[in-house]
Amino acid sequence: MPFTAKVITADEWDAKPPVPGTFPFPVTSPRYIIVHHTDNKNPPNDPSQSTLDGAKQFARNIQHGHFRRGWSDSGHNFLNTTGGFILEGRHGSLNAVEQGLCIRSAHAAQDDGKLAGGNDSPGIENEGNFMTFQMEQNQWDSLVELCASLCSSCQISPVNIKGHRDFSDTDCPGDWLYNQLPQLRKEVTDKLGMNLSPDELSNDRPIRSLKLGSTGEDVLQLQKALIARGFKPGAADGLFGENTRAAVIAFQRSLGFEMVDGIVGPQTRAALRL
Ligand SMILES: [Zn+2]
């Protein structure tokens, strides 16, 4: 599927240029899509008032606020407003994702025990506060469209659509929206014509084998379990690299497994109580 989401570029909403000397921003290879909420009032008191002009003004206000935090530019890559308008955040984000890449941003710094790689992946701010408020249909539809376009162009699995709270100590994107992520993954999967099992879509009951190159919450749990048993998988960051593979091999060897392959299948998983 081509990148079909209609995005209003930073130039089109009259963004201010990034802080001199910071642009162009580093280009990354994204692994995830990170869903946020702006923590603003919901309709009928929403900042953008669901209009196009309101959406552009809201984007300018957010950028202004991010400059005041000392950031180089808007911290997110995309903004999805209550009117279903999608606006580019950090300069260069649209061009990068259309090429399967991303622009390093500032929306999801890694806190202890959380996933790494948030700022190297596209972050979507959704206008509103979704602790209990349920997103209206047109905003939801544009979120699905944007996620499907990003999954397609950047070759990100819908399983890796995550919430900000997976990376940082925050309640963002709100309890309601976070709990909707399995539904979001399902609708994106359907739009892309893919087939993922309910377990894969819920992404909280890991059943897959973990091996070199695997990423995600279940890899993070694996690394923590290895560390707790005195093995050294490197940083607990949710990325299954060479150090994690070596630690799995050492663990398998310590238990005298016949199959010492560095792959976490049912036997290794059970031994680690994962
Ligand atoms: Zn957030």
Q: What is the predicted pLDDT for the residue at 205?
A: 46
Instruction: Look at residue 204 in the predicted model and tell me its pLDDT.
Output: 56
Tens digit of pLDDT for each residue in 122-169? 999 999 999 999 999 999 999 999 999 999 999 999 999 999 999 999
- Are residues 197 and 235 located together in one domain of the fold? no
Which string of DSSP letters, residue by residue, matches the chain? Answer: ------EE-TTTTTPPPPPTTS-SPPEE----EEEEE---PPTTS-TTTTSHHHHHHHHHHHHHHHHHTT-SS-SSSEEE-TTS-EEE-STTHHHHHHTT-EE--SS-PPPTTS-S-GGGS-EEEESS--SSPPPPHHHHHHHHHHHHHHHHHHT--GGGEEEGGGTSSS-TT-HHHHHTHHHHHHHHHHHTT----HHHHH-SS--S-B-TT-BSHHHHHHHHHHHHTT---SS-SSB--HHHHHHHHHHHHHTT-S---S-B-HHHHHHTT-
Rounded distance from Cα 231 to ligand 1 centre (Å)? 33
Asked which of 150, 175, 202 is the last residue of a domain, the reply is 202
Quick: pLDDT tens for 13-51: 999 999 999 999 999 999 999 999 999 999 999 999 999
* Rounded distance from Cα 35 to ligand 1 centre (Å): 7
Ligand 1 centroid, distance to 37 Cα (angstroms): 6
Q: Measure 18 CA to ligand 1 centroid, in angstroms.
A: 21
> Is 1 among the domain residues?
no
Query: Which CATH number does the domain housing residue 117 bear?
Result: 3.40.80.10
Are residues 14 and 57 located together in one domain of the fold?
Answer: yes
Res. 196 pLDDT band, cuts 50 70 90: confident
Question: What is the CA(79)–ligand 1 centre distance, in A?
Answer: 12
Same domain, 120 and 46: yes
| Spacing, Cα 173 to ligand 1 middle (Å) | 6
Whether 265 maps to a domain, the answer reads yes
CA of 261 to the centre of ligand 1 (A): 38
CA of 65 to the centre of ligand 1 (A): 14
- Same-domain pairing of 102 and 49: yes
Mean pLDDT across 98-112: 94
Q: Which domain holds residue 169?
A: 7-202
Domain tally for the chain? 2
Query: Which residue, 202, 229, 261, sits at the end of a domain?
Result: 202
Q: How far is the CA of 127 from the centre of ligand 1 (A)?
A: 11
CATH number at residue 252: 1.10.101.10
Assign 259 a pLDDT band (cuts: 50, 70, 90).
confident
The pLDDT score that the predictor gives to residue 206 is 44
> Is residue 2 in a domain?
no
Interval between CA 19 and ligand 1 midpoint (Å): 22
Q: Looking at the structure, do residues 27 and 153 belong to the same domain, yes or no?
A: yes
Q: Do 229 and 191 fall into the same domain?
A: no
Report how far ligand 1's centroid is from the alpha carbon of 135 (Å): 16
Q: pLDDT band at residue 195, thresholds of 50, 70 and 90?
A: confident
Are 29 and 149 members of one domain?
yes
In a domain, 212, yes or no: no
User: Are residue 45 and residue 130 in the same domain, yes or no?
Assistant: yes
How many Å lie between the centroid of ligand 1 and the Cα of residue 125?
7
In this structure, the answer to whether residues 189 and 224 fall within a common structural domain is no
Expressed in angstroms and rounded, the spacing between residue 271 Cα and the centre of ligand 1 is 36
pLDDT, average across residues 239-261: 93
Is residue 209 one of the residues assigned to a domain? no
Q: Is residue 210 part of a domain?
A: no
Q: Is residue 109 part of a domain?
A: yes
Q: Based on the fold, state whether residues 156 and 195 are members of the same structural domain.
A: yes
Domain assignment of residue 241, yes or no: yes
161 plus 100 within the same structural domain: yes
Neighbours of ion ligand 1 (CB under 5 A): 36, 164, 172
The Å distance, Cα 170 to ligand 1 centre, comes to 7
CA of 243 to the centre of ligand 1 (A): 30
Residues 99 and 224 both lie in one domain: no
Last residue of a domain, one of 179, 202, 225: 202
